[in-house]
Structure 1
């Protein structure tokens, strides 16, 4: 970093000033040169002592670890949040996340969808997060900034390149910028909490539109109307996310299971990644050495839950799961039925399923998708730690749709302005 010296020699002087000063003071008082110490007393001359100082420094712990801080509401967690925290972690060695309190969110943005407990589980479950400060303020005041620097040993405060303004129109990070302790990352385009709320609100009308009976009349019009309604739904609310192999690699652990690893497999939609997902993945991971997660295709999710689902498409959902610290690998577009060939290919030792699920017991009359692992004696039901589901989260928004519609209208205007004025910032 900028304020660090490139000279390990002077680092040694910095960490042990008393030792270095004592040597120099002794030499000055006696009027002796460093050659005298070397020639008469067998004491190493000063240039040769510097390596010893460097070794002392290394023994103390080496180079100072850089601690960075990033705050946010992190309501309706998505891959954009995860990528922001990934970028923030790359700017230091340890990432501390400030989680804005429910009260501060209400004051500055309106009611949050998720509680502090749920948001805490989500943020703590991300692989790049080292520490979390709960109930952080929305605005970084001078007092709180000093707490970050002095108590939490923060070196830099991080935020995205999108503006974060307080109700009075001022920059929420002005103080950090003023003291030169601010760093900026690139916003992940194609998703936002505002966008996701919009998808959920829109699905209220879409669900009604898509309730056209699937039975065909003599001329086939009702069935055709239903197909058109579903196609309209998919085109109207399609995600703007453009997945790349590089992004997937950035989220991946980039390593497979060892030859003798106990591989645990769990599958699902994992739509609108929430605290319930984090907790069930944690429970599954504790049953083995390597957790493999199957992410259902969009088609399977739609057939299971209706045309208005999934709220997030396959690649969005896959990145959300990959960001979880308990997950080792994902199958992007996992099949509905677990076959013997699949179990052999991935060397699966145990297949698990939670007690809380939104999926139907069968799909289009097919048999139990877990019949094969059950017959092999490697299937286990595990208790879901939380009752929260994607549908229950969506219902919170629908129950207060007027409030969220007003909030979204305001946010959508500011986001539109951001995208119109944005400039590319290299590196993400």
Structure 2
């Protein structure tokens, strides 16, 4: 997609990157970029360019583009965008400015990828999301540590958020920073107005609202609206999750329903998958799901078994029209096939006649285990990538310090 309008627009923003894994750091950058304009064009580097400048990719270009397209703040993706940002490519899309985090990214020669646009005065800085990167996630895959997991939510007798925060004092999910992050990632396509709702499952057949949804979604949850409910771990939030949610969203929209996603806590996922799973903790996974354009609300710490009581608790008068599951086999909480009806986590939904399994989608053979296997099968290459990242980080720190010193000198 290119524009026939040769004039550059201040409200048409460009951002580019590898976008390897659809993690919340990428989404956070797109959110902040979208808040600066009315349209956001997202350049996605080719597999070859990333391999040359950074190291092997985990996700293919098509997979990475699918993830970018699913982000509700993106207007359009641009596949194969140059690794070193080119003002001419930005011109093709009418974008005056490119947005990047407050860190420096270098090419294979150690040069700042954004120096040309900086020199042109077409570079805008946003805050980089801390404590998450593709490199971090690869590191977790190469280790067996579960230190990134967070504790289950402790229930309270009342439904107020204040009481929930008190009962879970010090819990990562309820820090002021985390709650603000939930609010931001729940925003609508403009990155500013209310969008998705965020709720916490307290384990006593009650929900506590953490982030208020838009009036349209709230109406569906407070009246006799309809809900299509899906649940899972949504670890590494990859193309399989996205395509499944895309199918569910299309069906829900046709029925006048909204999509509510239940996300299992870390202990629940680990009991099913073992090892260091989930690779992303509940907070990270929730942000990944929230940024998806096919989601209307999320429930943090949703139970592994969506019982009749749980489904009734989603809204005071709500009608859960469908409970859907992807084309993957249904498992019990210990990770075994749910061959016995009593062990089937969806037995209540099936008994109510509201269960539906999506038969297929383009990425049905890809799972979080598949992605981890991609990394482990090329362990030496990814370990080399980790080492290269260390060298690049030192070089990028030096460039960043020099740039700050230069800016300070100009200000003086």
The equivalent of 1:279 in structure 2 is 243
Give, in whole Å, the separation in 1 of the partners of 2:141 and 2:302. 24
Among candidates 111, 114, 133, match of residue 170 of structure 1: 111
Counterparts of 1:241-280 in structure 2, within 5 Å, are: 244-252=178-186, 253=195, 254-255=213-214, 256-257=217-218, 258=220, 259-280=223-244
Q: Distance in 2 between matches of 1:104 and 1:332?
A: 38
Query: Which residue in 1 is equivalent to 2:102?
Result: 161
* Cα distance in 1 between the residues matched to 2:105 and 2:397: 14
1:379 aligns with 2:355: yes
Question: Which whole-Å deviations, capped at 9, do the CAs of 1:109-152 have from their partners, x for residues lacking one?
Answer: 122111111111101000100011111110124xxx12322x21
Q: Which residue of 1 aligns with 2:282?
A: 314
* SS of alignment partner, residue 182 of structure 2: helix
Q: What's the C-alpha RMSD, in Å, of the aligned pairs? A: 2.4
Residue 43 of structure 2, aligned match among 98, 106, 118: 98
- Deviation sequence 1:66-108 (CA, Å, 0-9, x none): 1000000000221111111101111111000000011111111
Matched residues in 2 for 1:330 and 1:415: separation? 35
Give the structure 2 partner of residue 406 of structure 1.
384
1:360 equivalent among 331, 349, 362: 331
Counterpart of 2:409? none
- Structure with the higher fraction of residues in helix conformation: 1
Alpha-carbon displacement from aligned partner over 1:33-59 (angstroms, at most 9, x marks no partner): xxxxxxxxxxxxxxxxxxxxxxxxxxx
**Equivalent pair of 2:346/2:355 in contact (CA under 8 Å):** yes
- Structure 2: 5+ residue stretches without partners: 1-8, 151-171, 187-194, 196-212, 337-341, 405-412
For these two proteins, the number of residue pairs brought into alignment is 325
Change in CA separation of 1:318 and 1:384 when aligned onto 2, cut-off 3 Å: farther
Say if 1:106 and 1:178 are closer, same or farther in 2 by CA, change over 3 A: same
Does the 8 Å CA contact 1:352/1:381 hold for their aligned counterparts?
A: yes
Q: What TM-score, normalized by structure 2, do the two folds share?
A: 0.74
Q: In structure 1, the residue corresponding to 2:32 is in which secondary structure?
A: helix
CA contact (8 A) 2:110 2:392 kept: no
1:65/1:379 CA distance change after superposition, 3 Å:
farther
Q: Secondary structure at the match of 1:369?
A: coil
Q: Does 1:325 align with 2:293?
A: yes
Q: Are 1:350 and 2:322 counterparts? A: yes
- For structure 1, the 5+ residue unaligned runs are 1-63, 207-232, 424-428
> Are the structure 2 counterparts of residues 85 and 146 from structure 1 closer, same or farther at C-alpha, using a change threshold of 3 Å?
same
Residue 189, structure 1, aligned to residue 130, structure 2: yes
CA shift at 1:251, angstroms? 0.9
SS at match of 1:334: coil
Shift of 1:345: 2.2
Q: Answer whether contact 2:273 2:335 (CA < 8 A) is retained.
A: no
Residues 326 and 65 (structure 1), Cα distance of their counterparts in 2 relative to 1, 3 Å cut: farther
Structure 2 vs 1, CA of residues 377 and 418 (structure 1 numbering), >3 Å: closer, same or farther? same
CA distance in 1, matches of 2:68, 2:396: 26
Secondary structure in structure 2 of the residue aligned to 1:245: helix
Counterpart pick for 2:90 among 142, 148, 172: 148
1:397 matched residue in structure 2: 375
Indicate the structure (1 or 2) with the bigger Cα radius of gyration.
1
Deviation of residue 412 (structure 1)?
3.6
Question: Are the aligned partners of 1:276 and 1:384 in contact in 2 as well (CA < 8 Å)?
Answer: no
1:194·1:412 contact (CA, 8 Å) conserved in 2?
A: no
Structure-1-length-normalised TM-score: 0.71
Summarize the Cα distance change of 1:261–1:412 in structure 2 as closer, same or farther, 3 Å threshold. Answer: farther
Name the SS for the 2:251 alignment partner: coil
CA contact (8 A) 1:362 1:368 kept: no
